[in-house]
Amino acid sequence: MLLAGLTVSLLPTHSAQAATAASAKAKAKATSVRKAKPAPRSPRKVAARAAVREIVPAKPSFGQMYGLHDTEDPLDLKSSVALVLDQDTNEVLFSKNPQAVLPIASITKLMTALLVVEANQSLDEKITISDEDKDTEKFTGSRLAVGTTLTRGELLHLALMSSENRAAHALGRNYPGGLEAFVGAMNLKAHALGMVDTHYVEPTGLSSRNQSSAKDLAMLVKTAHQFPLIRELSTSTEYTVALGRRLVRFGTTNGLVKKADWDIGLQKTGFINEAGQCLVMQAQMAGRKLIMVFLDSAGKYSRIGDAERVRKWLMSNSSPIVPPAATATATAAAATATAATVLIK
């Protein structure tokens, strides 16, 4: 009886263990199904979806919205506005929509520099970057962190050479009377120079409400070129400043100043979406001092390409500044040099 009872008592235990094992196995199987990784997606589909997410329509410039890019010119420039004139005689050598009023981006900083230099403020005075100097227009960043302290001269250098926005804003903020007085002085100076198409609302160029025409900007370049400090700083190729314990190198935004075949006396670049790529320069070619203005150029390097196209044209046989005899002499000299090179080889 005892054995039979024991046997009977063991039978349910064995069944329970089997049931428990089966249940655990089922759970494990269910768990393994839930944790299984999804099948890999096609690389092409993944790339296509990523491309769709990254495509953001570019914001059109004011020049594009106004249809200025429909204007044709013999040099096929990418800039919708261009002006080249003789600095001494004001003779217009090339013109394309010169009176169109457009946003000018960081070309603004040329007026900012002009006011700082004319005010005769100490270039050695220390100025600290504050929260007020942050970009609240386009929300761009800067290597000049809040709390950075540099001299007015250093900030002026970075504003002209590297188009540093916080540097330009700090210069305006530390003008006698503050930022509001500075912007007022910018507009008064523009009026005094006869820049009737020009209006400023801030000292950096980040606002699309800073607007001017090529004709007006040529006047500004001509005036700013009279100041040796502006010429020197705007054409500097690189500059190193101490930011805390680090030495940080800043570079020019205009690679043409590094090229031996260009003689540039003053320059300033600019870009925001509303303005396109912009460039103003004073340069010497064929013994003449020229002022060049390119606004609303389409493409990252297009303003440089336009400047090169104009230079090539000005140095060609059809140039309005190079006499035919001089061009022939230059061509003959180049041919002689080439022949000599061949003989040496």
At residue 128, the 3 state secondary structure works out as strand
Nearest Cα residue to 234 out of 270, 198, 205, 208: 270
Active site residue 78: no
User: What is the C-alpha to C-alpha distance for residues 288 and 280, in angstroms, rounded to an integer?
Assistant: 17
Catalytic: which of 109, 189, 222, 268? Answer: 109
Active site residue 109: yes
Distance CA(305)–CA(82), nearest Å, equals 13
Long-range contacts of 240-247 (CB under 8 A, 24+ apart): 241/150, 241/154, 241/158, 243/143, 243/144, 243/145, 243/148, 244/148
SS (H, E, C) 220-289: HHHHHCCCHHHHHHHCCCEEEEEECCEEEEEECCCHHHHCCCCCEEEEEEEEECCCEEEEEEEEEECCEE
Give me the catalytic one of 61, 163, 207, 212. 163
Strand partners, 239: 250
**CB atoms near residue 337 (< 10 Å):** 10
Please report where in the chains the tokens 């041919």 appear, as a residue. 335
Contact 175, 186 (CB under 8 A): no
Q: Which residues pair with 247 in a beta bridge?
A: 242
Instruction: Identify the bridge partners of residue 150 per DSSP, sorted by sequence position.
Output: 127
- Write out the two tokens for 97: 């929509």
Distances (CA, A) of 179 to 130, 142, 301, 329: 13, 20, 33, 55
Marked catalytic residue, from 61, 79, 80, 106: 106
- DSSP-based three-state secondary structure for 212: strand
Closest CA to 82 of 278, 250, 265, 234: 278
Catalytic sites, residue numbers: 106, 109, 163
